[in-house]
A and B are shown apart, each in its own frame.
Chain A
């Protein structure tokens, strides 16, 4: 896996004598203690993680946990106190001013919480800002800016001024401005936090859509869990300047690193976090359909394993149906003595498999109504496992464990 950005033991101390406070952090003193003793603030403390090419990497944490500081050290709007930040292996923290300006002009761009558009410039000029600064000739930069505006659906507003736009539209301009320079890395500090909920979800979808067209490496700061879950491929959780856990949303929900992380996820709607595939288990008896497999054979296989249910799939694991001892028996009763029966005659009716990528929420009603576990298939129809009521309850309970 390629690390696009690599953060290595990064510290940031705000105050007049950062080295002194740095010593104290390294000796293991906490943020609060250090503030009491020296008046200096530990913004970020010993952060190390990799951000992979093309992923949306979410940084989440409470207010003051150091998210903004962290993201600003990635393009060096804030200088690190110690440690290094590698962009494609090049250390940003030791670059010359000139190299740094080049990197900012071509490789990393940023979207801001309160949009930070230039009020005296049109939408088009705003979008072309980065290209203008980089010295791209007017005709070319306007063409590229128009393209970026088109991508966010604002081409018709190119000649408007920012104060004529709604919040959501302003942030689309902010996004277009960042995309216009065609950067490898996009930094978004609470980019959608100032928008009202409906527009916010719309913008999240917009980001995901843009990402599906052209996957960039996105570092997305938020303090909103739902947002983190929605857009994040992986999430880093910050607590008082430290990165306490990095992982996929599922990883973190399953195994929260500490009470702080757990508290974040308390009350999270697990059914939205997990997909059917995450919960499905392969603990059912399976029967491979081939010419020799008859109703009688299936029945004896169930009895042998002391089960009342089996899943039938073909040689390529493609799901075909579900049989139960009841369905097999009633089918047998209707058969002539010398007929062993074909197994599809015994399939339980009305069992629809769920798709593995469906949110658990969608499967829940299915599982609740059905007397049988719900089979789950992948996008090519291959059998993945089943979700039983018991497994479902267990998963849903997991998020409540922290509350006792």
Chain B
């Protein structure tokens, strides 16, 4: 049998191209603004500024060992002459993450609040996550052509599901009595969300954010196939020229970014209240001796 599913999808894409171009253009404009702005910013900043900022974050959120690692690893990237590509990739990941989270987190809240929304979204999310990453590239390229923006769009779609899911899960798993307490003391729905549910769901939300960023990073590399640029290009060039060394260098750059982003976002997830920025700073300047055990 030859079910014409492929044709159907093509027709649907054509239809959407014809009728929703405006919406797509708007979406693309936002992404273009973000990716462009971030790429420009990170490209314009001298490397040492970026390194100092990231190392500072590492010191604040994790520990001095990780800060040292950040400096060393970014130094290696610089030495491999891959700084520019790494910053392009970082910009793309951050832009895609901002949009993915901007859409995903509110969707997660809607899903937690309404069983109907949850029932509709769940299969869609499953679909989005199980489809091979490459498949997103085709419609993205069709709608938006080649370049950074379609790459970012494919990344947004591919990386969004975990933040939706984990937001939903986090809110639904907030202790019933805490929610009852919120209601019993007179919270309106808005207060209940912001004073009870979101704070208590924070570890789960942060795990979702972390996963979204990590998935985004993996997708951004793939998206270089449609001209998204960055480290993915380096890897791709390595493959095309059968240049193992170049491919490996590109891969190493990705790994460095992955480790830094992962540790930093995870640290926000674990952030108990004792790790408030102020407390951290105090600890930093108050007593060098009171070093926390490295995790």
Contacts and interface: CB of A to CB of B under 8 A. Distances in A.
A119 interface: yes
Given A118-B199, A119-B200, A120-B200, A130 B185 contact: yes
A188 to B, nearest CB: 11
B184 A118 contact: no
B10 interface: no
Given A112-B177, A118-B196, A118-B199, A181 B185 contact: yes
Interface in B152-202: 175, 177-178, 180-188, 191, 195-196, 199-200, 202
Contacts of A181: 185
B186 A130 contact: yes
Nearest to A102: B186
Contacts of B186: 101-106, 130, 133-134
A26 B226 CA distance: 70
Given A116-B181, A161-B273, A132 B188 contact: no
A110 B273 contact: no
Contacts of A106: 186
A129 interface: yes
A217 interface: no
Given A75-B184, A104-B185, A133-B191, A120 B273 contact: yes
A134 B191 CA distance: 10
A194 to B, nearest CB: 11
A129 B183 contact: no
Q: Which of B180, B186, B191, B274 has the most CB of A within 10 A?
A: B186
A393 interface: no
A109 B184 contact: yes
A105 B185 contact: yes
Contact of A104 (B175, B183, B195, B200): B183
B185 A120 contact: no
A159 to B, nearest CB: 11
A285 B115 CA distance: 76
Contact of B177 (A75, A103, A113): A113
B179 to A, nearest CB: 9
A114 interface: yes
A103, A105, A133, A187 pick with most chain B CB within 10 angstroms: A133
B120 to A, nearest CB: 21
A329 B282 CA distance: 90
A139 interface: no
Contacts of A177: 185
A225 B259 CA distance: 58
Interface string A110-132: 10111110111000000001101
B79 to A, nearest CB: 43
Contacts of A120: 199-200, 202, 273
Contacts of B177: 112-116
A77 interface: yes
A141 B199 CA distance: 21
Contacts of A102: 186
Contacts of B200: 118-120
Nearest to A181: B185
A132 B177 CA distance: 19
Interface in A74-106: 75, 77, 101-106
Nearest to A130: B185
A138 B71 CA distance: 43
Contacts of A114: 175, 177
A311 B238 CA distance: 113
Nearest to B181: A116
Given A112-B181, A114-B177, A116-B177, A132 B273 contact: no
A134 B196 CA distance: 15
Given A114-B177, A116-B175, A129 B273 contact: no
A113 B200 CA distance: 18
A247 B181 CA distance: 30
A120 B174 CA distance: 13
Nearest to A106: B186
B273 A116 contact: no
Contacts of A77: 180, 183-184
A220 B46 CA distance: 66
B202 A116 contact: no
A192 to B, nearest CB: 15
Contacts of B195: 118, 129, 132-133
Contacts of A161: 273-274
B188 A101 contact: yes
B240 to A, nearest CB: 51
Contact of A129 (B175, B185, B202, B274): B185
Interface string A126-162: 0001101110000000000000000000000000010
Q: Most chain-A Cβ atoms within 10 A of its Cβ — which of B182, B184, B187? A: B184
Contacts of A187: 184
A116 B180 contact: yes
A112 B175 CA distance: 12
Given A130-B186, A161-B273, A110 B191 contact: no
A119 B187 CA distance: 17
Contacts of B274: 161
Interface in A40-86: 72, 75, 77
Nearest to A119: B200
A134 to B, nearest CB: 6
B180 A112 contact: yes
Contacts of A101: 186-188
Interface in B262-283: 273-274
Interface of A: 72, 75, 77, 101-106, 108-110, 112-116, 118-120, 129-130, 132-134, 161, 177, 181, 187
Given A110-B181, A118-B196, 5 more contacts: A101-B188, A102-B186, A104-B184, A112-B180, A132-B195
13 contacts: A77-B180, A77-B183, A77-B184, A101-B186, A102-B186, A104-B185, A105-B186, A109-B185, A112-B177, A112-B180, A116-B181, A118-B200, A129-B185
Q: Give the 4 A-B residue pairs with the shortest CB-CB distance, closest first.
A: A105-B186, A104-B186, A116-B177, A116-B181
